[in-house]
A and B are shown apart, each in its own frame.
Chain A
Amino acid sequence: MRFSGLRAVDCLSFNVRENEVVGLIGPNGSGKTTTMNLISGVFKPTHGDIVLGDRLISDWSTREVARAGVARTFQLVRILPTLSVVENVMAGAVFGSKRLWGRELNRYAIRLLEKVGLGEMINVPTASLTYINEKRLELARALASDPRLLLLDEWLAGLNPTELQIGIDLIKTLRDEGRTIILVEHVMDAIRSLCDTCVVMNTGSKIAEGSPQQALSHPEVIKAYLGEDHA
């Protein structure tokens, strides 16, 4: 993926199997979010293919990718401020693969809010939610489409230690349900405890892949994070 002269993602290839949690890590500017944007259809790759199941989705729009079963959260939380908390979740279940409407939609949205720990916040104005609750709301919206693939872009970033544990536990429940997830994270405890496989990027390219243990102990990874002296 190129932006004018800048090659943001290059030589990146990895597979995500069903029911697998893949961690995508790397220093700032390594191309993790660009990769998420490529998978979700925000950007079209200048070279290379993205395949979902048996379908080539490289040229698909965000709408088409979403309808094919890919849902995501954003690095900077994007909730819908003029919609109620319940409506924010409904947004994910009306137009994608679920296509719910009416009372069934309302019940479904409330169930999801309870699942992410926002059951008590149904009548709270969206604008007055705390940061972690905004993140929970965004996660509930992404889950509302019952996605085949869930992209979590630094979902745990900016949380305090207590909130972080709550967040990790929440993603654990998703993993235990058998969800397929790509997780962009800087929180290594989360990567170790949540991911089956870990892909490490640096300056747009993949430098290591394997179990979290293997990937994080790879000399290239240590060099990328801590410098040549520690490798």
Chain B
Amino acid sequence: MRFSDYCSLTLVIGLFILAALLPLIPDSDYLMSLALPIAMYTVLATSWALFSGPTHYISLATGAFYGVGAYVVGTGIEFIPYPVLLLIAGFSGIVLAGLVGIATLRLSGVYFVIFTLGLAELIRQLVTWIQNNFTGSRGLYVLTDITENYIYWQLIALTALVFLVGWLIKRSRLGFALRIIGNDELVAGHCGINSAGCKVILFMVSGCFAAVVGAVMAPRFTYIEPSMAFSPELSFQVVIMALLGGVHRLWGPLVGVIPFTLLWEVIASSFPTQTVLLLGVSFLLIVYFIPDGVVGRLEDLVKSMRLARPGSNRG
């Protein structure tokens, strides 16, 4: 590692410690009400970008994985220790992503998008049907003594983990393979890369994180029901935040999560009946004006300034 890497690592660790100390600040309730969704969306958007960034496959399945995780905790909280439920939720996310990946990732991107969008709705309808026919209720009570602070710390730990996993993947053969696949899948095949296998593995990693986030968040809601747990809105919000920040850098989605979460707080309170409409508009604006995200746009600017500098090499 170079000196600059050590500096970056120290800075990141410092920021994580600061973020973890937030609940200890007196009267930080409002601050926590903002920090908790920021931490949640950071894990979701970063894990989403781990898969979708290099492969360019837009997954709208985040809501499905999140819902599965939440329902694992909701179903088992009375019988199984909470940490075990987190493991089961993660494993469920991996299995679901594996099955979806094997079935769809050989298809071209657009079919994958539609399938993942339908997946959350399919699972939502299935859970609703099961609950209506076998349990006699539409939702589940999640009664625990897990406090909001504890949920927040879990999310901070998950954020650290998703960054660590992303960092490790980026430096691995798998990460390199995904960058090649994202550039040209045909060339990737001719380089000896198992494109489908690489994509399925990354999709499983992404699905695992989303499911664990759902499991961690479940105790916060006390009562969960299918329409809330398997919300398509969540899937779209994660995509928008990741695209806004930029998916080509590990920390790119974070740049989108913070302003978008804060802005969304204002929008949700000022225009509570137009949130979905505004979500759609923001999606269109981001895709049209900053397809590579804020980070991508800034990097392009820096690159063009370097190229414009006299004496720069050209081929």
Binding site for B on A (CB under 8 A): 40-42, 61-63, 66-67, 71-72, 78, 80-83, 87, 90-92, 94-97, 101, 120-121, 123-125, 128-130, 133, 141, 145
What chain A residues lie within 8 Å of B314 (beta carbons)?
124, 128
B280 within 8 A of A: no
Give 12 A-B contacts (CB < 8 Å), ordered by A residue.
Answer: A62-B190, A63-B194, A63-B195, A78-B186, A82-B182, A83-B179, A91-B188, A94-B191, A95-B193, A124-B314, A124-B315, A129-B315
Q: A83-B179, A130-B315 are in contact. Are A141 and B191 (CB under 8 A)?
A: yes
Closest to A81 in B: B183
A66 touches B315 (CB 8 A): no
- Encoded as 1 (CB less than 8 Å from any A CB) or 0, chain B from 175 to 190 comes to 0110110111011111
B173 touches A95 (CB 8 A): yes
The size class of the interface chain B forms with chain A is 20 to 34
Q: A90-B176, A91-B191, A95-B191 are in contact. Are A62 and B186 (CB under 8 A)?
A: yes
Residues of B74-92 at the interface with A, using a CB-CB cut-off of 8 Å, are none
A95 touches B177 (CB 8 A): yes
What chain A residues lie within 8 Å of B184 (beta carbons)?
78, 80
What chain A residues lie within 8 Å of B186 (beta carbons)?
42, 62, 78
B307 within 8 A of A: yes
Considering the chains assembled together, what is the distance between the CA atoms of A185 and B173 in angstroms?
35
- Encoded as 1 (CB less than 8 Å from any A CB) or 0, chain B from 285 to 315 comes to 0000000000000000001000100000111
Closest to A67 in B: B192
| Given contact pairs A41-B189, A101-B173, A121-B313, a sample of 14 additional A-B residue pairs in the complex whose CB atoms are under 8 Å apart | A40-B190, A63-B193, A67-B192, A72-B190, A78-B186, A80-B180, A91-B176, A91-B187, A94-B173, A124-B314, A124-B315, A125-B303, A130-B315, A145-B191
A80 touches B183 (CB 8 A): yes
Q: A63-B189, A63-B193, A91-B191 are in contact. Are A82 and B177 (CB under 8 A)?
A: no
**Neighbour of A71 across the interface among B180, B182, B190, B303, CB < 8 A:** B190
B315 touches A133 (CB 8 A): yes
What chain B residues lie within 8 Å of A92 (beta carbons)?
191
What chain B residues lie within 8 Å of A95 (beta carbons)?
173, 177, 191-193
B257 shortest CB reach to chain A, Å: 24
B173 shortest CB reach to chain A, Å: 6
B179 touches A124 (CB 8 A): no
Closest to B177 in A: A95
What chain A residues lie within 8 Å of B313 (beta carbons)?
120-121, 123-124
A80 touches B187 (CB 8 A): yes
Residues of B226-263 at the interface with A, using a CB-CB cut-off of 8 Å, are 248
B170 shortest CB reach to chain A, Å: 13
What chain B residues lie within 8 Å of A94 (beta carbons)?
173, 176-177, 191
What chain B residues lie within 8 Å of A133 (beta carbons)?
315
What chain B residues lie within 8 Å of A128 (beta carbons)?
307, 314-315
Considering the chains assembled together, what is the distance between the CA atoms of A92 and B193 in angstroms?
10
Considering the chains assembled together, what is the distance between the CA atoms of A124 and B191 in angstroms?
23
A132 shortest CB reach to chain B, Å: 9
What chain A residues lie within 8 Å of B189 (beta carbons)?
41, 61-63, 66
B172 shortest CB reach to chain A, Å: 9
